Amino acid sequence: MTTAHPPSRNCYLSGCRADGCRTAASRYTKQLRVEHARGHYRMTHAGPARQRIQDLMTAGWTQRQIARASGVEAASIHQVYVGAQEKTAKWRAAAILAIPVTTPPPNTHRIDATGTRRRLQALRVLGHRRYDLAAALDITADRIKHITNGNTKYVTPAEAAAIARLYRRLSAIPGPSQQTATLARNKGWHGPLAWDDIDDPNCQPETCERRQGGPGRREAVDPLEVARLTRAGMTAAEIAMRLGCHKRTVTRARGRVTHHALQEAA
């Protein structure tokens, strides 16, 4: 019996009995016996590889990331990690041990949820209900809940992009539920105007509490007054000093005037 496909031992082990696959399996067995007779073994103790996997996972790696970096099957990584294999192939152990214990590579399948969570919280502060957001995003209400409450540390790029688009559309529009807005504020969440950079994990919201220790800055100003001073040629810093507020407060007030003007034009 001949074969039209490339012969291999793996194919033979899968049940193929073509002449080429039989020969490949036979050669492998003979070569293995010769190596054993000479004291050479293709297997090694899995302990060091298991420890390296544990160290990498402690550093933040996932088993899939370890598999991609080493070229070892994800299933084999898992078997070694849980101790299901006392021994593993030398090449697998060498590939795993070759990975340095460093910060894991970027995970293109998941991204940090900080900005996404803040956007959802800001929309809730405006009074937009969870079920309405879920319907607009085609995401389950439970998923929205987990992201908003911080139970989920990572989101998919598609989720982050969809929520960012919805946020841009709704961040200047009050929602229909005052109860939602009140509950959100009671949880300590912040609206859109609180964030200088909503995606920066190190950015702190500009709140009334933060300004209490400062020089008595005002939390809000009249956008029309800001517009009048702007037309008079004053800079944002000069207006902030004049009105006793933060420069960012002036910038946001200008944005509200612009948004109002656009709505009036529409």
Task: Answer whether residue 230 is part of any domain.
Answer: yes
Pick 79 or 224 by higher pLDDT. Answer: 79
CA 231 to chain centre: 43
What pLDDT shows up at residue 148? 95
pTM: 0.47
CB neighbour list of residue 154: distance below 8 Å, 6 or more residues apart: 107, 110, 111, 112, 113
Quote the CA–CA distance of 250 and 230 in Å, as a whole number. Answer: 10
Do 17 and 56 belong to one domain? no
Average pLDDT over all residues of the chain: 82
pLDDT the model gives residue 219? 56
> Is the predicted pLDDT of residue 261 greater than 90, yes or no?
no
Convert the pLDDT of each residue in 50-109 to its tens digit. 999 999 998 888 888 898 888 888 888 999 998 888 888 888 899 999 999 998 887 667
Domain presence at residue 179 = yes
Shared-domain flag, residues 162 and 189: yes
pLDDT of amino acid 95: 92
pLDDT tens, 161-208? 999 999 999 988 889 999 999 999 999 999 888 888 898 888 888 764
- Residue 106, in any domain of the structure: no
What is the per-residue pLDDT for 215?
43
Question: Do residues 135 and 179 share a domain?
Answer: yes
Same domain for 51 and 28, yes or no, is no
Q: Please check whether residue 125 lies inside any domain of the structure.
A: yes
Domains in the chain, number: 4
DSSP structural state of residue 104: P
Whether residues 10 and 82 fall in one domain = no
Residue 67 located in a structural domain: yes
The reply to whether 130 and 181 lie within a common domain is: yes
Judge if 34 and 49 occupy the same domain: no
Do 170 and 134 share a domain, yes or no? Answer: yes
C-alpha to C-alpha distance for 226 and 121, rounded to whole angstroms: 28
What pLDDT, in 10s, does the model give residues 10-21? 677 778 888 888
Domain boundary among 194, 226, 256: 194
**Residue 90's CATH number:** 1.10.260
Q: 20-32 burial string, b = 16+ CB within 10 Å, else e?
A: bbbebbeeeeeee
**Is residue 166 situated within a structural domain?**
yes
pLDDT at 39 over 70: no
Q: Are 147 and 155 in contact (CB under 8 A)?
A: yes
pLDDT of 250 over the 50 cut: yes
Residue 213 has pLDDT above 80, yes or no: no
Residue with structure tokens 């050669």? Answer: 27
Nearest to 221 by CA among 236, 231, 232, 204: 236
Q: Same domain, yes or no, for 175 and 243? A: no
Shared-domain flag, residues 6 and 63: no
Round to whole Å and give the CA distance between 134 and 218: 35
User: Taking residues 226-236, what's their average pLDDT?
Assistant: 83
Residue 201 located in a structural domain: no
What is the SS3 assignment for 36?
helix
Query: pLDDT value at position 80?
Result: 92
Q: For residues 240-251, b (16+ Cβ closer than 10 Å) or e, as one string?
A: beebebbeebbe
Question: 189 and 168 in one domain?
Answer: yes
State the pLDDT confidence band at 36, using cuts at 50, 70 and 90: low
pLDDT at 262: 40
d(CA 233, CA 239): 10
Q: Residue 199 falls within a domain, yes or no?
A: no
Same domain, 129 and 166: yes
The percent of residues in the chain predicted with pLDDT above 70, rounded, is: 85
Lowest mean pLDDT of 127-131, 171-175, 241-245, name the range.
241-245
Tens of pLDDT, residue by residue over 133-162, are 999 999 898 999 999 999 888 888 889 999
Residue 181 sits in which domain range?
114-194
Per-residue pLDDT band for 211 (boundaries 50, 70, 90) equals very low
Q: For residues 27 and 236, what is the distance between their CA atoms, to the nearest angstrom?
A: 81
